[in-house]
Amino acid sequence: MAVNSSFTEEKNQMNPLLAGGEMENETEKDAADQNEEASNTSESPVSVSLADASAEKDIEGSDTDLEVEDPEKTFVYIMGTELYLEACRLMEVVPVSHFIQNLAKPYINLNHHGLGPKGVKAIAIALVSNTTITHLELEDNCILAEGAICIAEMLRENSSLQKLNISNNNLDTAGAKAIASLLLDNMSSLHALQLSGNNFGEETAPYFAEALMGNYQVKELDLSHNKFSEKGGQLLGQMLASNTTLEILDLSWNHLWRKGTEALGRGLRGNGALKILNLSWNGVGNEGALALGEALKVNKVLVHLDISNNQINNEGAKKLCRGLEVNGKLQILKMANNPLTVEGAIELVISIRKNPQSMMEEINISNVLVDETFIKLLNLVCQTRPELHVIYGEIEGCITKIPKQHPNPMKVIQNYLKERNLQLWDFFRTIDKDGNMKIPVAAFRRAMMQQSSIPLNRDQTEELVRQFDRNRTGVVDYSHLKEQKPAMKPVEGEIEEEKKEEP
């Protein structure tokens, strides 16, 4: 793709701090006129702007945290601010104070700031030589294709930015072409790129497919909420067969349908890198489920597959199970909001039971109404696979029954520990094999169900998981208990309250 002349010309109009060369005669004349106008105060317009920005920062209580002891950060902040303010003057846009305040930090969130093409162009100019920002959020700023082109040109020179979100910006075909050209040339250091909701249609699929076939930088890519159809799915499927770097791919809310999904399935068979694939809301259907099942027979890398909301019924579930019966890598399968019944749910659990190599930890069929037969089967499977967690809907016929009441699992553990003069910290440390105070949820379930000292059932174990992994990160983090280690008063207090409540 040709270099965007508008971006380059405006970038070169900046002072020598950015352009690295002599200014054009006309620019020199403008600068001289400005210096003459500012002679009474002996300050340049940029210096005055910096002073104003500094005063505004002091009034607003900025959180820049620039310390006198860190001259490098101070230099980055001053230089970046000068460049940005000058760029805003050239673009005739109002500077964004939040951007200035965070120039020396690794993360900046400018989502929903109404920047527009000119506003993002000013930011792009300021970031050309920035070495501190590694994660930039620019979602929903109406930057259009023009802004995307400027961002792409900036990334050809910036070697620090690793994560970029430019979702919901109406980039359209021209913007897609600019971003794809950047990826094709491997000119940036981007590892994670979010491009959701940008009106990318079938005509953009060849750009991304070609770019990603040879890209060795991007590991996470979000192309959800776009307009890729069957042809796009076929091209992206061919890409998957060649790509050796991409680990996370989100294609949810597109229109891949059967043929697109079949092509992706063929690509997955030989792929050795992709770990997480989201195909929800794509009209996959039963034939698409069959293609994915065939891929799972041979794929040895994928650990997370989301095919929720895809019109897959019991027949499709059976076809998918052909792969689940032999796959030894998949850990999470999301199939919520498909027209499955309890028969399909049983097929899924049986496929895990049949596979001694299965690593499955979670199956989400949260809309499926199950029955007592399913529950008995699940309990049987969980005796040998305690790490397995199946999320299902209601249990048929249980509405009229009195729900079983279980003791609070934390209080059960606390009572056990008090009797042995132990602390909660000690309890978690005994099941933490790595000693890093973070236990994978599957390992935690397995440890809790296999231990015999504390009588807890699966429901109580899940309650503990929800309590210690509120954000569903897949990890039980008990590091906060380290502060409670010297004293057990909080735990003992809870136990005393429990005793007072007893009749």
CA angle 268, 272, 278 (to 5 degrees): 50
pLDDT in the model for residue 61: 38
Q: How confident is the model at residue 75 (pLDDT cuts 50, 70, 90)?
A: low
Whole-angstrom distance, CA of residue 456 vs CA of residue 478: 19
Is the separation of the CB atoms in 329 and 300 below 8 Å? yes
**Class of residue 503 by CB neighbours under 10 A (exposed 0-12, middle 13-18, buried 19+):** exposed
Whole-angstrom distance, CA of residue 311 vs CA of residue 318: 14
Tokens 């079938």 found at: 202
CA atoms within 13 A on the CB side of 279: 32
Q: How confident is the model at residue 191 (pLDDT cuts 50, 70, 90)?
A: very high
The 8-class DSSP code of residue 394 comes to P
Is the separation of the CB atoms in 484 and 423 below 8 Å? yes
pLDDT higher for 186 or 478? 186
Tokens 């699992």 found at: 409
Tokens 């231990």 found at: 451
Residue 80 has pLDDT above 60, yes or no: yes
Residue 281 has pLDDT above 50, yes or no: yes
What residues does 392 pair with on adjacent strands? 365
pLDDT in the model for residue 416: 80
pLDDT in the model for residue 385: 92
Q: How confident is the model at residue 23 (pLDDT cuts 50, 70, 90)?
A: very low
- One-letter amino acid of 424: L
- pTM recorded for the entire structure: 0.80
Structure tokens at 216: 């060795």
Which superfamily does CATH assign the domain made up of 107-392 to? Ribonuclease Inhibitor (3.80.10.10)
pLDDT higher for 286 or 502? 286
- One-letter amino acid of 376: K
Residue 496 has pLDDT above 50, yes or no: no
pLDDT higher for 142 or 447? 142
Share of the chain above pLDDT 70, in %: 79
Q: How confident is the model at residue 404 (pLDDT cuts 50, 70, 90)?
A: low
For the stretch 203-237, pLDDT in tens is 999 999 999 999 999 999 999 999 999 999 999 99
User: Using CA atoms in the order 13, 16, 18, 20, what is the torsion angle rounded to 10 degrees?
Assistant: 110
Whole-angstrom distance, CA of residue 347 vs CA of residue 365: 12
For the stretch 372-389, pLDDT in tens is 999 999 999 999 999 999
Is the separation of the CB atoms in 305 and 330 below 8 Å? yes
Average pLDDT over residues 442-454: 80
Residue 1 has pLDDT above 80, yes or no: no
pLDDT in the model for residue 249: 98
Residue 200 has pLDDT above 80, yes or no: yes
Terminal CA-CA length for the chain = 78
Is residue 476 helix, strand or coil? strand
Q: What is the CATH number of domain 409-501?
A: 1.10.238.10
pLDDT in the model for residue 41: 36
Sign of the Cα pseudo-torsion (369, 373, 379, 381, in order):
negative
pLDDT in the model for residue 269: 96
Residue 257 has pLDDT above 60, yes or no: yes
Is residue 80 helix, strand or coil? helix
Whole-angstrom distance, CA of residue 284 vs CA of residue 259: 9
What residues does 222 pair with on adjacent strands? 194, 250
Average pLDDT over residues 246-254: 98
- Transcribe 19-48 into DSSP letters: H-SPPPHHHHHHHHHHHHHTTTTT--HHHH
Residue 253 has pLDDT above 50, yes or no: yes
For the stretch 421-440, pLDDT in tens is 878 777 787 888 777 888 88
State the greatest distance between any 2 C-alpha atoms of the chain, in Å, as a whole number.
Answer: 92
Residue 121 has pLDDT above 70, yes or no: yes
Residues contacting residue 464 through CB under 8 Å, at least 6 positions apart: 409, 410, 444, 448, 456, 476
Whole-angstrom distance, CA of residue 215 vs CA of residue 208: 10
Whole-angstrom distance, CA of residue 194 vs CA of residue 248: 11
For the stretch 91-113, pLDDT in tens is 999 999 999 999 999 999 999 99
Best-predicted range by mean pLDDT among 55-64, 313-322, 458-467?
A: 313-322
Domain layout of the chain by residue ranges: 107-392, 409-501
